[in-house]
Amino acid sequence: MIADKPSSQRLLPENGHARIEQAIGAFGLLREYFGGAVIVDAQSCITWIDGRYRDLLKLAADFDPVGLPVEEVIPHSLMRRVVETGKPILLDIMRFDDRQFVVCRIPLKDETGKVDGAIGFVFYDNVDYLEPILEKFETLQKQLSRAQAALTRERQTKYSLSSFVGASDVVKELKSQVRRFALREGAALILGETGTGKELLAHAIHQQSDRADGPFVAVNVAAVPEQLLEAEFFGVAPGAYTGADRKARKGKFELAHGGTLFLDEVGDMPPAIQAKLLRVLQEGEVEPLGSNTVRRVDVRIIAATSQDLEAKLADKSFRPDLYYRIAVLAIRIPPLRERHEDIPVLCETLLEQTMRTPGQRGWVLMPEAIRLLQGHDWPGNVRELRNVLERAAALAPSEVLDAAAIRRALPQSSVRPASPLPLAGSDLATYLADAEREAIIAALDATDGEKLAAARRLGVSRSQFYEKLRRHNIVS
Ligand SMILES: Nc1ncnc2c1ncn2[C@@H]1O[C@H](COP(=O)(O)OP(=O)(O)OP(=O)(O)O)[C@@H](O)[C@H]1O
Ligand SMILES: [Mg+2]
């Protein structure tokens, strides 16, 4: 006795009737354990489907799925695989809406043993002994989606444009330039000394752009050995290497698809890789190592370097054609010593990020301490400022960071070597020395580093001025 009336008999294979009925008969016996069943023919087209499976799939009452390829009716069905391999899939899990079901698929064979179809069963999830499997699957799925979300977050940017702090006109101009650039698609090149915030700015450009939801992938060209760079950029086809690493590995270009690829320290790129990179940028395609197929990639390049790229162009260690391609939008971050106005607000931000002991109130940076910081020449730029502030905070006896606290934290070579007095207090001589140093720096700033003009402004002779520069250890 057939439990559910087949939706149609007309397409059943001539010799298939008995066998299928037999199968359905068996199914009828166990019917209460199943949520539905389906039968396909040798072409993986549906020949029969029971009413409960139809309900599960929410098929319209007048829709006849018989004769259709199984995937058109049951998305992600693996019935075709069973027909093609002749191997059953005895235990699998399928999702319909938000419910998981255990499914079982068995090949059907004719009298000669040739596979000429398959039957699939769906088990209800209220079958007790299946519960642990489904629960475990559910847990693994959750873990997987959490890991995927974490990976996506990791690939997204950490900083927005507001993380790039600064009050000077150059920084304001820089930020408005970034806002304009971000809306365009061209490659961007960020130039600046070490520690000026090139990486921070690269994140910010990505975050402002239409690609903000896409990945942000960074490669530090200087940190990857030359012989590994190609694989790092373009990936590796399976089996490209003999030995341990036989698996395929995606390159950074593919990982950045739909987003931004940040090429840090691009000035250190070896010539052979420069040529390959240029080709990828021209053609929008990558070819993984050891593969003979190309993949299209949609990636925006942001490059950065602290090197003098123009000098590298001149001595031919950097290709001009690559330079023009990545320097469509060029941004130069000035060194910190050229923007003293940024120091107070940078200090505020960087100190806020500095660890405090629990219960401690914010750090208080005294005006004379700020002046002292503004007098330093910061070869390591904002990174060095951060380090000095962290050191000062770690060494300070209280929340108040005064000139003495800063002096203790500044690199010794930059602290006035001639100070006749101990570094502890804000005594008159220290105060005067600080003031003199600041005046000299301000004069040099105002005269674009012209020493003679600066000396004149301060009303001292040229030789006196040089002597003071030496004494205050001011690099000019
Ligand atoms: N304008 C800024 N506002 C806030 N923090 C900044 C700013 N500029 C730099 N920093 C901080 O200074 C540090 C160095 O910045 P970053 O790593 O972006 O510099 P970089 O130019 O990439 O340096 P390098 O050339 O050495 O790689 C980071 O901690 C960054 O957050
Ligand atoms: Mg960097």
Protein residue closest via CA to atom 28 of ligand 1: 383
Q: How far is CA 154 from CA 198, 214, 217, 254, 263, in A?
A: 19, 11, 9, 16, 17
Residue 426 pLDDT: 61
CA 320 to ligand 2 center in whole angstroms: 23
Ligand nearest to the Cα of 199, by number:
1
Residue 115 structure tokens = 């596979």
Atom 25, ligand 1: which residue's CA is nearest?
Answer: 194
**Contacts with 389 (C-beta within 8 Å, 6 or more apart), sequence order:** 347, 350, 351, 354, 401, 409
Predicted confidence at residue 189, as pLDDT, reads 95
Domains and CATH numbers, the chain: 14-124 (3.30.450.20), 161-240+247-334 (3.40.50.300), 337-415 (1.10.8.60), 416-476 (1.10.10.60)
Q: For the chain (length 476 residues), average pLDDT per consecutive 10?
A: 41 50 60 80 91 87 91 89 93 79 88 90 72 79 77 67 91 90 85 94 90 91 89 82 64 93 94 93 88 88 94 94 92 93 94 74 86 90 94 87 89 52 60 82 76 85 87 74
Q: In whole angstroms, what is the distance from residue 430 CA to residue 404 CA?
A: 10
CA of 243 to the centre of ligand 1 (A): 40
Distance 199 CA to ligand 1 centre (A): 6
Sign of the alpha-carbon torsion through 134, 137, 143, 149: negative
pLDDT reported for residue 158: 65
**Token couple for 1:** 């006795």
Q: Residues with Cβ within 6 A of ligand 1?
A: 163-166, 192, 194-200, 306, 346, 349, 382-383, 386
Q: pTM for the complete prediction?
A: 0.60
Q: Which ligand is nearest to the CA of 306?
A: 1
Q: What is the pLDDT of residue 421?
A: 44
